[in-house]
Amino acid sequence: MALTKRTLLAAALAAISTRSMAQAWPTKPIRMIVPLAPGGTADIIARIYADELGKALGQTVVVDNKTGAGGTIASAEAARAAPDGYTILVISQGTMVFNVGLYPKPGYDPVKNFASVALAGSVSNVLIVHPDNPAKSVADLIAQAKAKPGELTYSSGGTGTSHHLSSVLFERDAGVKLQHVPYRTATAGIMGVANGEVTMAFYNTPTVVGLIKGGKLKALAITSAQRSELLPDVPTMVEQGMKDYVFSTWMGYAVPKGTPAPVIEKLNAEMIRIGRLPAVAEKMKSQGIDMMPPEPPAAVDKLIRDELALWIPILKASGASAE
């Protein structure tokens, strides 16, 4: 009986301590880790939300870009961080799902090491080539690839990114073989296409729209189900005969597993509130980012589990690997 009372007392004290910490939180700046380079979609989303989150919490939210290995380096670092509410990781389909199927040892487990906070937005990719490429459609590019099996190259911002997986799906659905040329960052990979170093690539709409409109890149198709307001004249992959090709990447936020539930709940509430601000919605829209519906942390956890069940078999069948 005495042991039971001590156990219950310890649990009660721990709960009180957790609530007290959450009520006092935050008392210092918060670090928001972005596992990709500055200028990319994840970085754009992080900076839009970090500014508003800092205002709401009364503390600076510092955006920390850490690149390398498809986001595994930054994600693994976040997984090891103290679960105290002072480390937030920008997550995506790439880091939470694709990397698990591509890296034998990514350094973290998206389910065991993280607690989801909220979703932010999703973004389509654009199929781009150099302006001098004679291809005017997806069919033209497929014809080029079939005429030179294994010779056409495509860039990405790293193995496991949406840029990489978009091309893997393109190979599968178009029945072609291409060469992957991974760059350290998305920006470098985009310039690889603009400079004629590689033949083609798929990149997030917000990161390439300026170069497309400036004539530095040619857009052949967009990967979303509907055309983008940023590039209304660019047809979808579906419109061009690839009836099953729809690809959009979601992004959101997570914290190290063990972060107090009250902190996660407060972060979720603030992220949802921020997403509903007209100014934020307009910034996201202007960047070609579609807002994700507001969801509780448990729903984001479920999304990750469902995506893992969907994509791991696809990745294994494709033979794609980070090795």
Give me the pLDDT at residue 244, please: 87
pLDDT at 277: 97
pLDDT of residue 7: 58
| Tens digits of residue pLDDT in 141-167 | 999 999 999 999 999 988 777 888 899
Bridge-based pairing of strands 248-256 and 114-129 is antiparallel
State mean pLDDT over 45-73: 94
What residues does each domain of the chain span? 27-122+250-318, 124-222
pTM over 0.85: no
Domain 27-122+250-318, CATH = 3.40.190.150
Which residue, among 177, 125, 119, 71, has the nearest Cα to 299 in the 3D structure?
119
Distance CA 127, CA 26 (A): 43
On the question of a common fold for 27-122+250-318 and 124-222, the answer reads yes
pLDDT tens digit string along 192-237? Answer: 999 999 999 999 898 899 999 999 999 999 999 899 988 999 999 9
pLDDT over 70, % of the chain: 93
Give the C-alpha separation, 72 to 98, whole Å: 11
Q: How confident is the model at residue 70 (pLDDT cuts 50, 70, 90)?
A: confident
**What mean pLDDT, rounded, does the chain reach?**
91
Tens-digit pLDDT profile for residues 274-304: 999 999 999 998 888 889 999 999 999 999 9
The class that CATH gives domain 124-222 is: alpha beta
